[in-house]
Amino acid sequence: MVRTARRAGGIAVAAVALLACGSGHSGGTAKDAIRVGHFASLTGDTATFGRSADRGIRMAVEELNAAGGVLGRPIEVITEDDRSVTEEARSAAQKLIQRDQVVALLGEVASSRSLAAAPEAQRAGVPMISPASTNPRVTEVGDHVFRTCFIDPFQGAVMARFAHDDLRAKRVAVLFDFKQDYSVGLAEFFRKTFEQLGGEIVADERYTSGDIEFRAQLTTIRSAAPDAIFVPGYYTEVGLIAKQARELGITVPLLGGDGWDSEKTLEIGGPAVEGDYFSTHYAADSDDPRVQDFVKRYQAKNGGVPDAMAALGYDAARILADSLARAGKTDGPALRDAIASTKDFAGVTGRITIDPQRNAVKDAVVLKIDGGRFRYHRTVSAQ
Amino acid sequence: MRPGTALALGGLGLAFVLLEWVLPRALNPYYLTILTRIGVAIVAAVSLQLVNGFTGQFSIGHAGFMAVGAYASAALSVYLGSEWLAALASALPIWLARALYFPIPLLVGGALAAVAGLLVGIPTLRLRGDYLAIATLGFGEIIRVVILNVDAVGGARGFALNATSGVDLRFEDLGAIYAVVALSVGVIARLAYSSAGLAFRAVREDETAAESIGVATTRVKVLAFVVSSFFAGVAGALFAHSEGYIHTNSFSFVRSFEIMVFVVLGGLGSITGAVIAATVLTAAPEGLRGLGELRMILYSLLLIAVMILRPQGLMGSRELSLAPLRARLRGRRAAA
Amino acid sequence: MENLLQQLVNGIAWGSIYALVALGYTMVYGVLRLINFAHGEVYMVGAMTGFYAAHALGVADRPSALGLAATLLAAMATCAALGATIERVAYRPLRRAPRLAPLITAIGVSLLLQNAGQLVLGADPKFFPPLVASREAWRVGSLAVSNIQLTVMATAVVLMAGLELVVMRTRVGRAMRAVAQDADAAALMGVPVDRIIQLTFVLGSALAGAAGIQVGLSNPKIDPLMGLMPGLKAFVAAVLGGIGSIPGAMVGGLLLGVVETLVAGYLSSTYRDAIAFVILIAILLYRPTGLFGSAQAEKV
Q: Is residue C300 part of a domain?
A: no
Please count the residues of chain A. Answer: 383
ipTM value greater than 0.85: no
Q: Does B138 touch chain C (CB under 8 A)?
A: yes
Q: Is the pLDDT of residue B114 over 90?
A: yes
* Sign, CA torsion A32/A106/B236/B78: positive
User: Does the residue B5 lie in any domain?
Assistant: no
The minimal CB distance from A20 to the residues B156, B246, B291 is found for: B291
Contact B134 C239 (CB under 8 A): yes
Give the tens place of pLDDT for each residue, A325-381.
999 988 999 999 999 999 999 898 888 999 999 999 988 989 999 998 888 888 888
- Please answer yes or no on whether B302 and A25 come within 8 Å at the CB atom: no
pLDDT of C30 over the 50 cut: yes
Interface test mutation site (partner A, options C1, C4, C7, C10, max chain A beta carbons within 10 A): C10
- Asked if C204 contacts C25 with a C-beta cutoff of 8 angstroms, the reply is yes
Range of the domain at C230: 2-286
Residues with Cβ within 8 Å of residue A218, at least 6 apart in sequence: A175, A205, A241, A244, A245, A248, A250
Q: Which residues pair with A34 in a beta bridge?
A: A75
Q: Does B245 sit within 8 Å of A43, measured CB to CB? A: no
More confident residue, A344 or A285: A344
Instruction: Determine the distance in angstroms separating the CA of B81 from the nearest CA of chain A, rounded to an integer.
Output: 21
Tell whether C292 is covered by a domain: no
Residues in C closer than 8 angstroms to B145, CB to CB, are 270-271, 273-274
Residue of B139, B264, B311 lying closest to C97 (CB–CB): B311
CATH of residue C161:
1.10.3470
State the Cα–Cα distance between residues A110 and A130, nearest whole angstrom: 9
Number of domains in chain B: 1
More confident residue, B313 or A312: A312
pTM: 0.87
Option in C14, C123, C127 nearest A268 (CB): C127
> Are B135 and C284 inside 8 Å of each other by CB?
yes
Domain range A34-150+290-362, its CATH number among 1.20.120.50, 3.40.190.100, 3.40.50.2300, 1.10.3720.10: 3.40.50.2300
The radius of gyration of chain A's CA atoms, rounded to the nearest angstrom, is 22
- Residue A116 at interface with chain B, using a CB cutoff of 8 Å: yes
Cβ-in-10-Å burial (0-12, 13-18, 19+) of B331 comes to: exposed
Of B126, B128, B138, the CB nearest to C298: B128
State which residue of chain C sits closest to B207, comparing Cα positions.
C300
The DSSP code for A43 is: S
Mean pLDDT of C178-186: 88
C30 vs B contacts (CB less than 8 Å):
none
Interface probe with C: pick from B139, B142, B268, most Cβ of C within 10 Å: B142
- Taking phi over 0 as left and psi of -120 to 50 as alpha, with beta for the rest, A102 belongs to beta
In chain A, what are the domain boundaries? 34-150+290-362, 152-280
The proportion of chain A whose per-residue pLDDT surpasses 90, expressed as a percent, equals 62
Backbone dihedral angles phi then psi of residue A328, each to the nearest 5 degrees: 80, -10
Using CB atoms, which residue from C97, C115, C232 is nearest to B296? C115
**pLDDT reading at C16 higher than 90:** yes
What average pLDDT does range A297-322 have in this prediction?
91
At residue B336, the pLDDT reads 54
Picking from B120, B124, B264, the nearest residue to C104 by CB comes out as: B264
B297 with C119: Cβ contact below 8 A:
yes
C-alpha–C-alpha distance, residues B116 and B55, integer Å:
19
Query: What is the DSSP pairing of strand C126-127 with strand A373-380?
Result: unpaired
Question: Residue B148, SS3?
Answer: helix
Which among C123, C265, C273 has the least Cβ separation from residue A216? C265
CB A217, CB A205: distance < 8 Å = yes
CA gyration radius, chain C: 19
Q: Is B30 on the interface with A (CB under 8 A)?
A: yes
Shortest CB distance from B301 goes to which of C97, C103, C112? C112
Task: Judge whether A91 and A113 are in contact, CB under 8 Å.
Answer: no
Instruction: Inform me whether the pLDDT recorded for A3 exceeds 70.
Output: no
CA distance B330 to chain A (A): 31
Residue B332: pLDDT band by 50, 70, 90 thresholds? low
Contacts of B328 (CB under 8 A, 6+ apart): none
- Name A95's Cβ contacts closer than 8 Å, sequence gap at least 6: A80, B30, B286, B289
Q: Chain C: give the shortest CA distance to residue B329, in Å.
A: 38
A33 Cα to chain C: minimum distance (Å): 31
Contact partners of B by the rule of 3+ C-beta pairs under 8 A? A, C
What's the CA gap between A193 and B139, in Å, rounded? 37
User: Do the domains A152-280 and A34-150+290-362 match in fold?
Assistant: yes
pLDDT the model gives residue C298: 54
Task: Please write the tens of the pLDDT for every residue from C71-113.
Answer: 999 999 999 999 999 999 999 988 887 777 888 899 899 989 9
Expressed in percent and rounded to 5, the helix, strand and coil fractions of chain C are: 75, 5, 20
DSSP reduced 3-state for A129: strand
Q: What residues of C are in contact with residue B120 (Cβ under 8 Å)?
A: 281
Q: Which of C75 and C294 is assigned the larger pLDDT?
A: C75
CATH class of A152-280: alpha beta
Do A133 and A200 form a contact (C-beta atoms < 8 A)?
Answer: no
Contact call for B34 and A115, based on CB within 8 A: no
Give start and end residues of each alpha helix (H) in chain A.
Answer: 2-20, 47-66, 86-98, 111-124, 137-140, 152-161, 181-196, 215-223, 235-247, 263-269, 289-302, 308-327, 332-340
Return the percent helix, strand and coil in chain A, to nearest 5. 45, 20, 35
- In chain C, what residues touch B253 (CB-CB under 8 Å)? 228
Report the pLDDT averaged over residues A295-320.
91
Domain-located, residue B3: no
What band does C18 get if pLDDT is binned at 50, 70 and 90?
very high
**CB-based contact B52 C100, cutoff 8 Å:** yes
- Minimal Cα distance from B158: which residue of A? A112
A207 Cα to chain C: minimum distance (Å)? 6
> CB distance from A179 to chain C under 8 Å?
no
The verdict on a CB contact (< 8 Å) between A47 and C118 is yes
CATH number of the domain residue B309 falls in: 1.10.3470
| Cα(B78)–Cα(C182) distance, integer angstroms | 58
Q: Average pLDDT over chain A, rounded to whole?
A: 87
Contact by Cβ (8 Å): B82, B169 = yes
In a domain, residue B1? The reply is no
Please, which residues bridge with residue B182 across strands? Answer: none
Confidence of residue A25 (pLDDT cuts 50, 70, 90): very low
